[in-house]
Structure 1
Amino acid sequence: MKLRNLIFLLGLLPFGALAQQKPAAEVFSLSEVRLLDSPFKKAMMTDMNYILDLDMDRLLAPYLKEAGLKPKAENYGNWENTGLDGHIGGHYLSALAKMYAATGDQRMKDRMDYMLSELKRAQDANGDGYLSGVPGGKAMWQEISEGKIDAGSFSLNKKWVPLYNIHKIYAGLYDAYTFGGSEEAKEMLIGLTDWAIQLVQNLADDQIQDMLRSEHGGLNEIFADVADITGDEKYLKLAKQFSHRAILDPLIKHEDHLTGMHANTQIPKVIGFKRVAEVDGDESWADAARYFWENVVDKRTVSIGGNSVREHFHPVDDFSSMIESEQGPETCNTYNMLKLTKHLFLSDPEVKYMDYYERALYNHILSTEEPDHGGFVYFTPMRPGHYRVYSQPQTSFWCCVGSGLENHTKYGELIYAHLGDDIYVNLFIPSTLNWKEKGLELTQETKFPDAESTTLTINPEKKSTFTLYVRYPKWVEEGALKVVINGKEHEVDGTPGQYVALNRKWKKGDKVELTLPMRTTVEQLPDGESYYSILHGPIVMAAKTDTTDMVGLYADDSRGGHIASGQKYPLNEMPVIAGTVEHVASAVKAVEGQPLTFTIDGLYPEKYKDLELIPFFRLHDSRYMVYFNVVSPDDLVAMEKKTAFLEAEKKALEDATVDLVFPGEQQPESDHFIESENTNSGVNQDKHWRDATGWFSYLLTDKDGDAGKLRIMYFGLDNGRNFSISINGEKLTDVSLDGSKGFEFFTIDYDIPQDILDKAAGKLRVKFEADPGSVAGGIYEVRLMEK
C-alpha cells in the first residue's frame, strides 16, 4: 500500500482526503507495464524520436528570460514566441517523465534531470517560488495580486491565456515527481503552489472567479494533487478557489450550458472538479463530472471519440458544422476526455468508461501521429474528402503538439487496473504487467484488432487466489464472448457492458484465451443527420480518396499552420452510399487475405466503387472519408442538385475571402492577434460575437494584395449601437445599428480605399471602436474580401 494512502486511512490528515463511498480502483505505474510489438509501441517509439529532435535549451529559454537569466539558446518560434512562450516546455517535461517510466530509457531520465536543473535555476533566481515562461509575466502577476484584473476567454491582462500557460509547468513538475521519481520536482511544485497562494491571498472570491473566465487549464486539479501529496488543507482550499463556479454550478444541477463554449477550456476544469471530489469526498462535485462526461460522450462526440468544431461545442441537435468544417475534433480535447474517463473509471469501474476509452484511443489518439515521419495532428476533420496536417519538430508548437508529446507515452496506463488483489483487464493491447508488490507477472499476446482473440498468461511467484475481471465490450454480441482457461471452455457469466469475473487459485503458466468476435456496424451522427460512420468492432473504418491539393500537409511555422487550408472539395462530389441504412452493414464486404480491409457495395458516383475501407488509425497522408452520406437511390438526383447549389455558394464565398475572423472564438482571435479594451463576447443562435464599450481590433493579412473590401456580419435586432471602423488608424466608416433588420444575420461590404491598401503592405489592423456611451458591435464575422 502506498504510504500516503496509509496515512489517509490512519486519519492523520486534517481533511477528509480520498473519502470514497466504496474502495477506488488503482492504475498500475507506467513502469509496471511494458508494451509489446503493436501499433501502440510503434507510435511510442516514433514519439520518442520526436522528443529527441527537440532542443531543450530552446524550450527552456522563456523560463530563463523571465527569471532574468541569460538563455543558452533562443526561443522556438510559432506559439513559443508569440505570447504562449514556455507552454511546450511544461508538456515536454511531462512527456520525458512518462516516457522514462514507460520505457526505462535513460536518455529520457537524463533529459528530465537537465530540464529540472535549469528550471530550478530559474525558480531560484525568481526567489519567491515563481516559475513560468509567460513574457512579461512578473509585472502582470503583480497587477493581478493587486486586484487589477482584465479577463477574457483568450487573455488575462492582455496576455495570451497565462493561467493556461503556467498550468503546463505545474503539470510537468507533478509528472516529473509522480512518473519520474524526482523529489526535487516535488519541492519545486510545492514552491510554485505556495506562490499561487500568495498571488490570490488578498483577492476576494468574486475577483478570483472573474480571473477564471480566462482559460486556465487544470489548475484546480494540480492544486488538489498538491493537497494529496502534502496532506495540507491550504492547497485543497486553493483548488476550490480555482474551481470555476460558472461551469461547476450548472453541472451540479445537471444543466447543459455547454453549446458555444470553448471545449478544451472546460474539460480540464471538470477533471479538477473530479479530483477535488476525490480528495475531500464531495459527491456533488463528482456527480457534476459524471454528468459532464455523459453529456459530452453521449451527445457531442463523433465515432472516433473526438468532439468540437473550431474548438467549440456545437449544438447537440446540429452536427452540420462537423461535416462542413476543416476544423474538426481537436486532439487536446480527447487527451483530456481520456484523463477524465480514467478518473471516473477508477472511482466506479464500469465497462462504459473503458468502451469509450478504447474507442477514442484507437480511433483518435493513435491516428493523430504520422507513424513513419512523425508529427502530431491538431484538427481531425470529419468533412468528407478533407485531410489532416502534421506538425514538424522545429516549426510547430501548438497546444496539440504539447499534448501529442504526452499522448503516445502513456498507452500502458489503463490496459490493466487493480482493486486490492484483483486485476482488471481493460484493453486488448500486447503488453506485460510486472506487479512486483504481489510477485505477479501477466503477459497479454494478441494481434487485435487484426485478430479477434487475445491470450493472457498468468505467472504468480506462488499460487494466489484473486479475481481476474475481463471486459466484455459492448461491441461483442451477447453470448459471443468465449473464455478458455488452460484449454477448457469456461462458462461466461456476464453480458456486453460488464466485466466477467474469473476467480480461482492461479498458478504459474495459467492461460486465459479470449475470443472477441467483431461485427460490422454503422453509427449515425448524434443529431440524426443521414451521415454514417462504419465500424468493425470498436475500429472506425475509413477510405482514402486522393492525395491532391493537400496544402501544408507538413506544417510550417505560420500562426495558422495547424489548419488544413487546402481546397475543400464540394460535398456533392464526395462518395455516397446509395441504399438504405438497414443494408449498409451487409453491403460492407471483407477483402480476402487482407485483415481489416473492406469494400462497399453501392458507392456512388461510379468512380468511387473500388474504394477500400481500412482502420482510420492506419490512414495517413491522404484525403479521406470517415462519414458517408447514405441516400436512397430515388433521392440521389435531388440530393445532388441541392448539395451542389449550396456547395457552389460556399465555394464562391471562400474563393473571394482573403482572410477571415470569427469574433468571440478563441483561436481565430488569437491567430489574428486581437487587441481590446472593455469588450464582451457570447453566442447568439450558435454564432459567436464580440462587442465593446471600448474597442477591439484584429490583424488581417492580404499577402497577395487581392483585398478590396471588408465584409462584416451583424445581427438585425441590435439597436442603438454607434461605432467606427478603422484600418491601420484611418477611419473606414461610421456604423449605426438601429434594429431594423429583425431576427436575422446580415452582412455589409465596405470598400477599402486604395491608398489604405497601398500603405498596408499586406497587414491590415481592423479596429471597431464605440462612440462615447455606446457599443461597438456585436460583430459576428470579419471578412477581408477580394476586389
Structure 2
Amino acid sequence: MRDMKRFCLFFLLIPALLKAQTGATLQEFPLQDVKLLPGIFKEQELTDLNYVLKLNPDKLVAPFRREAGLPKKSESYGNWESSGLDGHIAGHYLSALAMLYANTNDKRVLERLNYTIAQLKLCQDKNGDGYLGGVPGSRQIWDEVRKGNFDTFNKRWVPFYNIHKTFAGLRDAYLYNGNQTAKAMLIKFADWFTGISSVLTPEQMQRLLQNEHGGVNEVLADVYSITGDKKYLDAAYAFSQQAMLQPLENGQDKLDNLHANTQIPKIIGFKRIADLGKDTSYNNAAKFFWQTVVNHRSVATGGNSVREHFNPSADFSTMISSVEGPETCNTYNMLKLTEQLYLADPKGLYMDYYERALYNHILTTQRPGQGGFVYFTPMRPGHYRVYSQPETSMWCCVGSGMENHAKYEKMIYSHSANALFVNLFIPSQLKWKEKGLALTQVTAFPESNTTRLTINNVVKSDFTLNIRYPAWVKQGSLSITVNGVKQLVKPTASSYVALNRKWRKGDVVAVTMPMQTTTERLPDGSNYEAVLRGPIVLAAVVDTANEQGLNADDSRMGHSARGELYKITDMPAFVSDTNNDALLIKSDNSAPLTFTAHDLIYPARYKNLKLVPFYKIHNARYVLYWRKESANGFAALQQKMADEDTKIANLAAKTIDLVNPGEQQPESDHFMESERSFSGVNFNRHWRAAGGWFSYLLTDKNHEAKKLSITYYGKEWNHKFSIMINDREVAKVDLKNAKPDEFFTEEYALPADIKYTDNQSLRVKIVAENGAVAGPVYEVRLLKE
C-alpha cells in the first residue's frame, strides 16, 4: 500500500515537473484521471486492447536480441519487422501498453509492459553503450556513423526513424506509468544519442539528418525536461534539421512533394524545443507549419498526403485519383503537434482541428470490435481501405495505430492552476485531485447535439469552467444552462465560454450545440466536395464487391488496397446549379446522423444512397468526396472524363506491380538498391536517376509479366543506359531523340524465358553507360497482356 501511495504521488508530480520547465499555459490531466464511459471511443479503446494483447512480445524483442548478440528466444515477426525496419513496432508497443494500462488498469497490460521492458533491458545491457535497436547490422552502422561515414546508414531503411520509436516508448513507459527501469534505460539511450551529436560536426549532423529520423529531437528535449541536464537540450538542437526549420521560421511553404511523415515529427520536436528553450524562431516554425498543413494541405477528414507525400497545395487531383490517400501516421503526428500548440496557446481553433481529425480520420482507422488498423484512407470515389492483421502486418501505421486508440482520454479536458477546460464532447469521468473535483460528462454526441456535465464532488470550489464553443456552431447559437438557469454566452465561435462561480456538488451544466449541414471543397477549390454535419464528415457506401486484400496479408504492399479501380465517371456525383448543395441534403429519420440527397445525386441508380458518418463505414467501398457539376456542363465533361477513366482503368487492369521512383515508401517497398543515385521532382512528379545504377524488386507471383513500362520526360537528352531484368539486358535506351515538353512511356518486351528470383520476383536495374546518366525515370510498371 505504501508503494501504491508513492506511485500515485509520482503521477501527481509529473505534470508539475514538466510544467516547471515548459512554461505551458495549460496542462494535460494524467491519463489515470480521465475514464471513458460507454460509447464509440470506449469501444475502440477495448478493440485496440484486444489487438495489442494478441501480439507476442518475444517476437517483437527478437530483432533487439539478435543485434545485441543474445541467444534467439523466438523468431521475429515477418513483414516490415524482418525486411529492414526490424524492431520499430516494439517502441510503439511500449507506448500503447503504457497508455492502455493508465486508462484501463488491466493487469495483463502491466505484465506485458514490465516483461517487455525487462527483455529490452537485457539487450541494452549486453550492448553496453546505451544503444537499443533492431536495425540490421546495428554495430557496423553506428560505428561508421560516429566516424562520419554515412554510406551504410543511408542504404538501410531509415535507421534513426526506427530506433526513435523505442526511444519514445521508453519515455512513455516512464511518463505514463512511472517505470523507473524505463527511465534509467531512456537516459542511457539519450546518452548514446548525445554521443553521436557530440562527435560529429554541425555540417555532418545536417547531412545525417537528410535521412528520415522521426522525432529524435523531441524525445531528447523530453529527457532534458525530465533530468534538467542541458546537454540533452543541446543534443535536441543538434538533431533538428535546418533545411526544414529555416523556411518555416521565415513563413515559407516549401512542402510540395516532400515525404509528409518525415517532416511532421521534426516539427513536433521544434515545438518541444521552443517551449523548453524559450525559442521564438522554433516556435514560429512550428506554428507556421501547422497553419500551412491544416489550412492548405488537409482534406475534410483532417488527413493529408498522397502516396505519403504532400501533394502540391494548388493541385489535389492526385488526392482523388490515387488509392493511397491520407496516411494514418501523418494525422497521428499532426494531433501530437496540435496538443503542444494548444497547451502553450489554448485557442479554440486548435481543438477544432483536433476534433475534426479525431472523429473523421483516427476513429475511422480501426474496425470496431473486429480490430485491424488502416494505413491509407483513399479519397478516390468508390475505393476502400485495407485492415491489418496481428500476425501478418507490421507497418508504421500499425505501430501508431496501437497508440491512437489508447489515448482518446488525452485531450478531453485540460487545466491551468484555477481553470478547467472542456475541449471535447466525449462521455467520460474526470478527477481533478488538486481541486477535489469529480466530474461526469454524459453525451451521445455527435448523434445528439447536447452534452451534460455533472459535479459529483468538489472541495476547492472556486474555479472557472471553460466550455469550448466549436467553429461549426453558428455564432450566437450555442446555449448553456447551469442548474436550469440560462447563462450569458458571447456569440464567438472557435473560442471558450468561461463560467465563473463557486461550484457545488450536484451542479449540472447543460450545453446545446446546434449542428448544421455544410459542404466543403478540396483545398485547391476544385470541383469535389465533402458533406459535413457539424464536424462530422458524411459518406455513402457504394458496395462491398471486389475488395481484394481487405484483410492484409504479409506482403510488402499488403497495406494498400490493390483491388479493382472503379471508374470515377461511374461513381455517384452531385449535379446541381445551386451554390449551396447542403440545401438539397435532407435528414433521414430512420437513424441518427443519416441523410439523403435524392435531388442532388446522379446517376439515378444511386439516388437512394444514404449519407452517414464516415466513422461508421467499414469493409466497404465508399464515396466521401463527391464530384460537383452543373446540369449544363455535366454531359460534356462526363464524356471527356470517361475517356481518361477508361485509359486509367485499362492500365490498372494490366499492371502487376508498380514503382514510383523517387518516392520514399514505394522505393522501400520495392527494396531499392543503388550506386551514385539521386532523385528529384519535375512538374510535381518524382524521379530517380544515377551516374551508376539503381534497381527495384518487382513481384509477379503468377508469372504473368510480358512487358516492362517505363515513363520518361521529353526534355531529357544524352542520357544513355541499359535496362536489365535479373541481370539480363532487355533494352538499351538513348534519350537524345526524346519527345519535347511532355511525359511519355515506353514499353519493353520481356524475354519469354526470363528466370524469376524466389519464383516470384524480377529485379529491374537501370544502369548508366560510362560517363552518361541513367534516367531520370518517373514510373516503372510490370505489365501483363
Range into which the TM-score falls when normalised by the shorter chain: over 0.9
Name the counterpart of 1:765: 763
Structure 2 stretches of 5 or more lacking a match? 1-10
Among 314, 317, 323, the residue aligned to 1:320: 317
Alignment match, 1:92: 93
What's the CA shift for 1:604? 1.1
Aligned mate of 2:293, from 287, 296, 303: 296
Question: How much does 1:757 deviate?
Answer: 5.0
CA distance in 2, matches of 1:9, 1:652: 58
Secondary structure of 1:562 counterpart:
coil
Partner in structure 2 of residue 492 of structure 1 = 489
Kept in 1: contact 2:726–2:755 (CA 8 A): no
Q: CA–CA distance in 2 between the matches of 1:258 and 1:288?
A: 13
Residue identity (%) = 54
1:634-649 matches, within 5 Å, as 634-649=632-647
The residue correspondences of 1:199-598 to structure 2 (distance < 5 A) are 199-462=196-459, 464-598=461-595
Contact 1:76 1:394 survives alignment (8 Å): yes
| Superposition pairs of residues 767-782 of structure 1, within 5 angstroms | 767-782=765-780
SS at match of 1:552: coil
Q: 1:723, 1:592 → 2: CA distance?
A: 65
Match of 1:609 in 2: 607
Q: What's 1:35 paired with?
A: 36
Q: Which amino acid aligns with 1:107?
A: R
CA deviation vs aligned residue, 1:448-490 (integer Å, no higher than 9, x gap): 0111100111244335111111110010011110000011111
Q: TM-score, normalised by structure 1?
A: 0.96
- Measure the CA separation in 2 of the matches of 1:404 and 1:39: 16
Q: Tell whether the 8 Å contact from 2:19 to 2:27 is kept in structure 1 after alignment.
A: no
AA matched with 1:661: V
**Secondary structure of the structure 2 residue equivalent to 1:69:** coil
Quick one: which amino acid aligns to residue 692 of structure 1? A
Change (3 A) 1:476 1:259: same
Partners of 1:435 and 1:109 lie apart in 2 by 24
Deviation at 1:538, TM superposition (A): 0.5
Amino acid at match of 1:671: D
Task: Give the equivalent residue in structure 2 for 1:137.
Answer: 138
CA distance in structure 1 between the partners assigned to 2:19 and 2:593 by the alignment = 49
**Which residue is 2:104 aligned to?**
103
TM-score scaled by length of structure 2:
0.96
Check 1:8–1:374 CA distance in 2 against 1; reply closer, same or farther (3 A cut). Answer: closer
1:72 to partner: Cα distance: 2.0
For residues 287-311 of structure 1, give each alpha carbon's deviation from its aligned partner in whole angstroms, at most 9, with x where no partner exists. 1001000100000101111000110
Letter in 2 for 1:766: V
Judge conservation of contact 1:460–1:506 (CA < 8 Å) in 2. no
* Greater mean deviation of Cα atoms: 324-333 or 774-783: 774-783
- 1:704 Cα deviation (Å)? 2.1
Question: Helix, strand or coil for the counterpart of 2:408?
Answer: coil
User: C-alpha displacement at 1:743, in angstroms?
Assistant: 2.1
Aligned mates of 1:773, 1:760 — CA distance in 2: 34
- Determine the C-alpha separation between the residues in 2 that align with 1:6 and 1:449: 34
1:2-36 Cα offsets, whole Å, 9 max, x none, are: 757877999xxxxxx53x5xx52111111110000
1:752 is displaced (CA, Å) by 2.1
CA offsets per residue over residues 331-377 of structure 1, 9 Å max, x none?
Answer: 00000000000000001000000000000000100000001210000
Matches within 5 A, 1:151-162: 156-162=153-159
**Residue in 2 aligned with 1:669?**
667
Contact 2:374–2:387 (Cα < 8 Å) also in 1: yes
1:406-460 deviations in whole A, cap 9, x for unaligned? Answer: 0001001000001112011000000011111221111101010111100111244
- Deviation for aligned residue 1:776: 1.4
Q: Is the 8 A contact 1:463 1:507 kept in 2?
A: no
The answer as to whether partners of 1:578 and 1:630 remain within 8 angstroms in 2 is: yes
Partner of 1:13: none
Query: What is the letter of the counterpart of residue 29 of structure 1?
Result: P
Q: 2:586 & 2:154 partners in 1: Cα distance?
A: 58
Q: Is the 8 A contact 1:576 1:628 kept in 2?
A: yes
CA RMSD of aligned residues (A): 1.7
More displaced, 453-462 or 492-501?
453-462
1:625 to 620, 623, 626: 623
Judge conservation of contact 1:452–1:517 (CA < 8 Å) in 2: yes
1:420 to 1:739, Cα distance in 2 relative to 1, 3 A = farther
Matched to 1:368, the amino acid is: T
Q: Which deviations, in whole Å up to 9, do the C-alpha atoms of 1:161-186 show, x marking residues without a partner?
A: 11100000001000000011101101
Contact 1:482–1:492 at 8 Å: present in 2 too? yes
User: Tell me, what secondary structure is at the counterpart of 1:396?
Assistant: coil
Q: Is contact 1:580–1:630 with CA below 8 Å preserved after alignment?
A: no
Whole-angstrom CA distance in 1 between matches of 2:134 and 2:639: 54
What residue number does 2:171 align with? Answer: 174
Alpha-carbon distance in 2 for matches of 1:546, 1:4: 50
Distance in 2 between residues matched to 1:455 and 1:752, nearest whole Å = 68
1:575 touches 1:604 (CA, 8 Å); kept in 2?
yes
Tell me what 2:127 maps to.
126
How big is the shift at 1:199? 2.8
Report the Cα distance in structure 2 between the residues aligned to 1:490 and 1:656, rounded to whole angstroms. Answer: 65
For the residues of structure 2 that align with 1:694 and 1:361, how far apart are their CA atoms? 46
Q: CA deviation at 1:274?
A: 0.5
Equivalents in 2 of 1:8, 1:393: separation in Å? 35
TM-superposition CA deviations, 1:689-722 (whole Å, max 9, x none): 1111221100112222222222211122223322
**2:437–2:456 contact (8 Å) kept in structure 1:** yes
Q: Distance in 2 between matches of 1:33 and 1:177?
A: 18
For structure 1, which runs of at least 5 residues remain unmatched after alignment? 11-16
- Separation in 1 of the partners of 2:356 and 2:17? 37
Instruction: Give the aligned length.
Output: 774
Contact 1:662 1:688 in 2 (8 A): yes
Distance 1:671 1:561 in 2: 10
SS in 2 for 1:766: strand
Contact 2:154 2:211 in 1 (8 A): no
Equivalents in 1 of 2:108, 2:677: separation in Å? 48
Counterparts of 1:115 and 1:318, CA distance in 2: 46
1:699 partnered with 2:700: no
* Residue 14 of structure 1: aligned partner: none
Distance in 2 (alpha carbons) for counterparts of 1:339 and 1:596:
29
What does 1:30-109 correspond to in 2, within 5 Å? 30-109=31-110
CA apart distance, 1:785: 2.1
Deviates more, 1:707-716 or 1:138-147: 707-716
Tell me if the contact between 2:15 and 2:27 (Cα under 8 Å) persists in the aligned partners: no
SS at match of 1:719: coil
Contact map agreement 1:53 1:393 (CA 8 A) in 2: yes
Q: Distance in 1 between matches of 2:343 and 2:329?
A: 22
Q: Which amino acid aligns with 2:300?
A: S
